Structure 1
Amino acid sequence: MSHSLFHSKLNTRSNLLLLVISVSVMLFTRCSEDDFNPDPDEEEVEEVEDAHEVEEPGEAAFMVAQVDISTENGAAISSKEDYINCNITISSDKATWNFLGTGKIRGRGNSTWLWYPKKPYRIKLDESSEILGMQSNKDWVLLADYRDPTHLMNTFVFTVGQGLELPDTNNIRYAEVSLNGDYIGLYSITEQVEEGKNRVDINSDHGILLSLDADDGPKLSPNATDNFWSPIYQLPVCIKHPDDVSSARMAQIKSDFAKLENAIKSADYERVAQELDIPSFIDFMIIQELVYNVEVDAPRSMYMHKDVGGRWIMGPLWDFDAGFDFDWGTMYTGHNYFHTHRELVLGTSPVHHTGGYHVPSFFTDLFKNKRFLKEYKERWFEVNDKVMSEYWATTQKYADGFAEALVRDAERWPIDKDNQTEISNMKEWLTMRIDYLTEIIENYPAGTVE
């Protein structure tokens, strides 16, 4: 079927749907930055207008939408690289969130794409649009949450990140998805991590978005031209923006990152504060330890960004279904979490990596500094009581909202766990972990650098 005929048939179908169910189709709006395109085989760059402010979602955020995706000619999605044309219908109990549109879809993820039968997807709309109350963009992610038996791990972390006001923290919604007429279960829908007005809001020409990630770094992706080993801590760095990196631009990014690394190595608070937004670093590391995200060790999916003339800021947060004491011995099947709340990422003495993972010292050398250590402890004692009373309470609303859909997902993708039991285990694990971390953090050894 030609692409034009595909769109013609969609238009006919859309008109019929509008007549039958009286759904108001949202007008596409365009955001104010060039749409960042992480796929090297796509070259389009569009000038777009400012997106209007999105209404507060309120309780609608906890509703489960219905998403129907039909690929061109019913083609199977078998690649993470090649997009397939598709049309998309979204139905929500909040009528203004209903959506009809066209775009492209492909697979996404690393282990989640390779190992698990329920697949995650990446969608690129033909026109930027608000989706389920989230701000306008073309790029969206459907997370399968197959490994995670609670379907809440990323949601909880995003909720904590928003509560701590960590910049550019993702929003999330839930939907039951059908693909070419086949029900494929409960998915979470969230924003793609990328440069953009409604995403990581940095200058489209001169801002920098990096991922510290072993999968995208020079060891596992040696032929890529957008990655490098950092000079001081030998971190695998991948440049996510800009997407076209000249040799001069690469040299400048390496130089900027080296300044940050040298400052952290010195553990001089004032020097570091010139290069790094320290409050964002503190919140970022508190979250990694709170959920026992051992991927700090590799590292994987550790994002950070920097605007023109600004300091490095940690985030956005991403990919937390390997936290919560995940049993890596069963990584090919997943689902096993919460064995003990007493494991540590940073250990009882972060500087010396005592009793924890030997994470790169990029993440721990600042604990040598007395002022940093004082601020880290103060921040923990400022927020630890909010984790369950506020952030988990919000997370529980998502769980209550998708409870019935979760039963249908379990029928479609049966695993050796009861989902509601695992949600209860997650709550108990977090409750015990907060008490445990409070004792650990209170007793971090004193810093040695003024």
Structure 2
Amino acid sequence: MAAAVAGSLLLPIGVLTSGVASASAAPAAVSAAFASTGLVTPDTPTVDITLPQGVTAAEIAKDPETTGVTIAVDSPDDNLDYPALGGGEIKGRGNFTWTLKKKPYQIKLKDAAPLLGMDSAKTWILLANHADASLMRNKIAFDLAGDIGMPFSPQSKWVDLRINGDYMGNYLLTEKVEVKANRVDLSDPSAVIAELDNNYGTAEDYYFRSTASKTVYTLKDQKGAVPSTVGDWNESAKTQATKVGWDDIKKDINTLDALLDQSTPDWAAISDLIDVESFVKMYLVQELTMNIDAANSSLYLYKNGTSDKLHAGPVWDFDITLGNYSRGEGSDTKSEFVKNLDVLRSTASPLWDDLFRNPDFVKQANAVWTEDVAYHASKLPSKIDDYKATVALSAANNFKRWSILGTPSLLGSSGGTYASSYSTEVSDLRSWVASRQSHLRKAYGDVPVLQYRAHVQSLGWLHRVNTGQIAGTVGQARRLEAFSLAKLTSPAAGSIQAKSHVQSIGWSSSWRSTDLVGTTGRGLRLEAFQLRLTSGLATRYNISYRAHVQGIGWQPWVTNGATAGTTGQAKRVEAVQVRILEKTSPTPVAPTP
């Protein structure tokens, strides 16, 4: 089919070049031109959706779905075409993304089909990626998760979308997170998927707040069924099975929540409850991409029946990641991010912060990074080049239809301004990813695991935190009086030494051990400090640290004996972060097959 129309494929691009002036609607001439050809872009599949007579794209709602829809896929590879078949459905999807002009959709085929060579299924998602001017952040994360062996990671393909002949732009056709064959393929009748969703979860029919942290979790999907009348779990054997699974996962989440809330968490009990590898890999994907929503929404957990452990996954929703969120820590490639979201974002769950407080979790993260993640992370810049080559022509059409390049981000002031060209937008993303993965290659792997804690005004000693986590308080106007820092494990000999500058005392006279940096019991504020490594540690690693200072906020990271904080200004340090980094990024080794 594609070959038959190859000679006319330049017409739509030419029409777009001369015709589209705004992001609100495509001119009728453009729609007519596109409707007359098989493909919108020569190298990109086109999904054609025809609504029932008299129904327009503007009338598609999130609920209920529009039925009686004809769906077709025309591919440059004729063997991957999907013929125009009726009996389909379409509806809107998403929360914030649904409020944007370029809408995301869910489509359902009459019968399961392996669209564009992906695993066969009925239901598919069309991600608009409208706030992401690279069009590729979701795909980067989905593919990375699949490459590192996270089960049920969504497959995806870029497509052009037409509805009733009107060109709607470039979309990512992807698998839906659902308990189905070829998706989250769980076998137990009581298997369920839960979603951590502090943003929108209380609007769902089935949700609860965890006992300790008050995090909102919802019932995302199930092997069985949910009742046609909310709460009538006795409706059928399938709804009863779902009730068993839902009650069970609630119990396990509450148990995990309580264990993580302890000042000294019981790792043996935690690791007996969760599939540690899945949580570690989920953490590393979220940390690498710096997902601002990693502890707020679209974080899925599943259990394949009551005898199964709690698993993290599949991955989903990376619209606000990889440097396109500039507020606070959101775009700094050297940030220690997901492990601090409970402090950095007021609505975040403490899940990742509390997991990372366990030294054994940090050790597992170091091991998994070395064995599985570092290599694939190092390949991301070249993969971005490949993605650009794949999607560039379709992207050109997309931004003629939706002219957002060079304008303020659809994420608002937190997103800055889009680059003036697609090439520059992708180049900026590539540079950000290259910097981020290079930093993480220094921060994870064969590095010492640090544990430290802060002594805070009126609160005393707070719980211990690990490498790069925030110790102290932010936004409470409390002075940090002291902190203690211990090296737990290290592949090299040596120690950590410190100097402190304390209210009314000034600088300590000499370098000291890190058992106590500052003072306790005297009501004096810590104003500045310096840290350094000795012996083999100093040869191989840098110690990096920073302070959150009264009236200033977070200062830049400093290293190896430089001063964090202030002197002569009578300003209190309120919180600190400390980490040890490799001096050079180790060359990652390809995982063993």
Question: TM-score band (shorter)?
Answer: 0.7 to 0.9
Query: 1:387 and 1:328 mapped to 2: Cα distance?
Result: 25
User: What code does the residue aligned with 1:143 have?
Assistant: L
Superposition deviation, residue 320 in structure 1: 0.4
Superposition deviation, residue 63 in structure 1: 5.6
Superposed, 1:162-177 pairs within 5 Å as 162-177=146-161
Q: Is the CA contact (8 Å cut-off) linking 1:130 and 1:136 kept in structure 2? A: yes
Query: 2:173 and 2:272 mapped to 1: Cα distance?
Result: 36
Query: 2:449 and 2:258 mapped to 1: Cα distance?
Result: 24
* Alignment partner of 1:427 is 2:411: no
Specify the alignment match of 1:325 in structure 2.
323
Query: 1:205 and 1:231 mapped to 2: Cα distance?
Result: 27
Superposition deviation, residue 381 in structure 1: 3.4
Superposition deviation, residue 184 in structure 1: 1.2
Specify the alignment match of 1:110 in structure 2.
95
Superposed, 1:191-230 pairs within 5 Å as 191-203=175-187, 205-218=189-202, 221=203, 224-230=204-210
User: What code does the residue aligned with 2:250 have?
Assistant: K
Query: 2:148 and 2:54 mapped to 1: Cα distance?
Result: 43
Query: 2:164 and 2:151 mapped to 1: Cα distance?
Result: 37
* Alignment partner of 1:373 is 2:327: no
Q: Is the CA contact (8 Å cut-off) linking 2:300 and 2:315 kept in structure 1? A: yes
Superposition deviation, residue 204 in structure 1: 5.8
Query: 1:392 and 1:301 mapped to 2: Cα distance?
Result: 26
User: What code does the residue aligned with 2:268 have?
Assistant: E
Q: Please identify which structure carries the higher helix content.
A: 1
Q: Which has the higher contact order (CA 8 A, sep 6+)?
A: 1
Superposition deviation, residue 384 in structure 1: 5.3
* Alignment partner of 1:95 is 2:39: no
Task: State the identity %.
Answer: 26
User: What code does the residue aligned with 2:251 have?
Assistant: S
Q: Please identify which structure carries the higher strand content.
A: 2
Query: 1:146 and 1:346 mapped to 2: Cα distance?
Result: 24
Aligned length: 376
Q: Deviations over 1:259-305 (max 9, x none)?
A: 333344453333222211101101101111111101124x1100111
Which residue of 430, 435, 439 corresponds with 1:436? 439
Query: 1:253 and 1:284 mapped to 2: Cα distance?
Result: 18
Q: Is the CA contact (8 Å cut-off) linking 1:195 and 1:204 kept in structure 2? A: no
Change (3 A) 1:275 1:339: closer
Query: 1:322 and 1:290 mapped to 2: Cα distance?
Result: 13
* TM-score, with structure 2 as normaliser: 0.59
* Alignment partner of 1:345 is 2:367: no
> What secondary structure, in the 3-state scheme, does the structure 2 residue paired with 1:161 have?
helix
Specify the alignment match of 2:268 in structure 1.
270
Q: Is the CA contact (8 Å cut-off) linking 1:292 and 1:324 kept in structure 2? A: yes
* Alignment partner of 1:398 is 2:387: yes
Query: 2:290 and 2:171 mapped to 1: Cα distance?
Result: 24
Query: 2:376 and 2:432 mapped to 1: Cα distance?
Result: 12
CA RMSD of aligned residues (A): 2.9
Superposition deviation, residue 118 in structure 1: 1.0
Query: 1:92 and 1:105 mapped to 2: Cα distance?
Result: 21
Change (3 A) 1:291 1:177: same
Worse-matched range after superposition: 439-448 or 284-293: 439-448
* Alignment partner of 1:446 is 2:424: no
Superposed, 1:26-37 pairs within 5 Å as none
Query: 1:204 and 1:73 mapped to 2: Cα distance?
Result: 42
Change (3 A) 1:375 1:253: closer
Query: 1:145 and 1:384 mapped to 2: Cα distance?
Result: 25
Change (3 A) 1:252 1:371: closer
Q: Is the CA contact (8 Å cut-off) linking 2:323 and 2:429 kept in structure 1? A: no
Query: 1:206 and 1:216 mapped to 2: Cα distance?
Result: 25
Query: 2:384 and 2:308 mapped to 1: Cα distance?
Result: 33
Superposition deviation, residue 306 in structure 1: 0.6
User: What code does the residue aligned with 2:92 have?
Assistant: G
Change (3 A) 1:237 1:328: farther
User: What code does the residue aligned with 2:214 have?
Assistant: Q
> What secondary structure, in the 3-state scheme, does the structure 2 residue paired with 1:445 have?
strand
Which residue of 307, 310, 313 corresponds with 1:312? 310
> What secondary structure, in the 3-state scheme, does the structure 2 residue paired with 1:294 have?
coil
Instruction: For structure 1, list consecutive stretches of 5 or more residues without a partner in the other structure.
Output: 1-16, 22-61, 330-336
Q: Deviations over 1:120-166 (max 9, x none)?
A: 11101111111111111111011111111111101100111011101
* TM-score, with structure 1 as normaliser: 0.76
Specify the alignment match of 2:285 in structure 1.
287
Worse-matched range after superposition: 64-73 or 430-439: 430-439
Please identify the structure whose Cα radius of gyration is greater: 2
